[in-house]
Structure 1
């Protein structure tokens, strides 16, 4: 995934860049009531690896590998759903073993417990993503020198 960014601050081997995030509706020239405030743009300031030596004010192309984005998306969105579904069946199974007759309630409780478990798993992966060099965006090239 590539994004255009502006270098705000330069550090040793890193640079702070400002990315203007566009919504899916930003390319549309029509104003529709379905979009609401999604036509607005937000700015994101982030620290990225700088291996090419940029200067403050440069417009650059920032890249993160697609495979890493896909993996992070699966961790954040897909794993919690599977854990919730698995938690339901685990709760029903445990309740039937113990002899509790409220299987539906046990399944809901299992889903809730496994959802909390998925939150902790996401926290673990978050610290891994922050420490791993391969999950950090990098400046690919300078588009426009200031």
Structure 2
């Protein structure tokens, strides 16, 4: 592999971001030579994700895959935050526990980054899913069992795999 070829994680990130864009009906920006195509695609879906009160169920897995495979730790929030608003913090965290338990080393590292982002505060001005008049089941954000499962999964990892 040369320096210019994408890594497996970057390829998985692009595939996940493409699926998110397809499901949202967002037109994919033209490919570019600077290697930032996946980031531009992620930017194109960011606003529609946060402006939609309810996301289709089919978006959940690609959102979580994009969050875990995002090679830039500063941006996985772009996928985690709308998933938390639309599907609930508990469900997001449960999927991250599964990535930690069964994922590749790169996926486990991505799950660690996404776990941090999954604690994003819910604000009514941030998403119509949590806005005025929206009724949100408190069970969506009850994370006690997911946090206990996370701690247990981390304890079972070899020390060299912990972030």
Pick the TM interval, shorter chain: under 0.3
TM-score (norm 1): 0.24
TM-score (norm 2): 0.22
Which of 1 and 2 has higher RCO (CA within 8 Å, sep 6+)? 1
Query: Which one has the largest radius of gyration?
Result: 1
Higher strand share: 1
